Chain A
């Protein structure tokens, strides 16, 4: 699988994501700087990593979402290329209008950094095919602005269309309906606050994230 990881000034999980992708796919991803206007030819998967792009200036993800490379990411997504936005990447995708809603300051105002239990709500997506529906898994979170908010109509639509991919089992950051990760309407864009790329091998303290990338690899290669 030919993958690309987008790098913004202030990204800090780009390397984690690259290591996870290489580990699972056997191939190093292309690291694509935000000023590029094109992605490598034939890219089959795009990762928008965590971090603090532009120091979270204005709003988390706001500046990165307007970077030149994001038009190429948007175009690729509309052609059906799978895109994952993790943590700051999720904030970037909502700011870019590729996912609905917004990520606001955590309800308790604290930065939250710990492993959290999640429930896989939809095991039919490109990203979750190797999980069981309703399965409980643990991914770490590390964020200040992970409080997912959208209007009630949008939330009802997300729930009704099976687009809530992951949900916090216990309230974590004030997110509406404990939403941890959502899919776009076509199902090929996933945004989530927890970090699957940080639980890939036993030395990480868990391997629950590995199946996300393995499932994706299987789908892309199918």
Chain B
């Protein structure tokens, strides 16, 4: 099975990269982009039967820094 882990900055944490993307979009003429937040997508190829709590532990121990980031797990059972 595969799982995707989406890592995003917590609300209120300044995202300089997102701001730069927003300015670049504006410079390309895309008006009305109110805000941009950049995150990470990590794809895991896992042994069948890996539990959600195992994946959550991976996130807490390494994949996300929970001081500044949130994570969301998406399981792809048939992938």
Which A residues have a C-beta under 8 Å from some C-beta of B?
58-59, 62, 66, 94-95, 100-102, 104-109, 147, 149-150, 174
Q: How far is the CA of A147 from the CA of B16 in the complex (A)?
A: 10
Identify B67's interface contact among A66, A107, A150, CB under 8 A. Answer: A150
Given contacts A109-B20, A150-B67, contact A104 B14 (CB under 8 A): yes
Q: How many A-B residue pairs have CB under 8 A?
A: 35
Identify A109's interface contact among B16, B61, B62, B63, CB under 8 A. Answer: B16
- Inter-chain contacts of A174 with B (CB < 8 A): 14, 16
**CB nearest neighbor in A for B42:** A58
- Inter-chain contacts of B20 with A (CB < 8 A): 109
Considering only residues 50-73 of chain B, those with a C-beta below 8 Å from chain A are 61-63, 65, 67-68
Q: Are A107 and B16 in contact (CB under 8 A)?
A: yes
Q: Are B13 and A149 in contact (CB under 8 A)?
A: yes
Q: How far is the CA of A174 from the CA of B20 in the complex (A)?
A: 15
Q: How far is the CA of A153 from the CA of B39 in the complex (A)?
A: 25
Instruction: Name, among B13, B14, B20, the residue most crowded by chain A CB atoms within 10 Å (CB to CB).
Output: B14
Q: How far is the CA of A102 from the CA of B17 in the complex (A)?
A: 16
Instruction: Name, among B13, B14, B61, B65, the residue most crowded by chain A CB atoms within 10 Å (CB to CB).
Output: B65
A-B pairs with beta carbons under 8 Å apart, 10 shown: A66-B61, A100-B67, A104-B13, A104-B14, A104-B16, A106-B16, A107-B14, A107-B16, A147-B14, A150-B67
Q: How far is the CA of A62 from the CA of B68 in the complex (A)?
A: 13
Q: Are B17 and A62 in contact (CB under 8 A)?
A: no
- Inter-chain contacts of A104 with B (CB < 8 A): 13-14, 16, 68
Q: A58-B63, A62-B65 are in contact. List 9 more A-B contacts (CB 8 A).
A: A62-B62, A66-B62, A95-B65, A102-B67, A102-B68, A105-B17, A106-B16, A149-B13, A149-B14
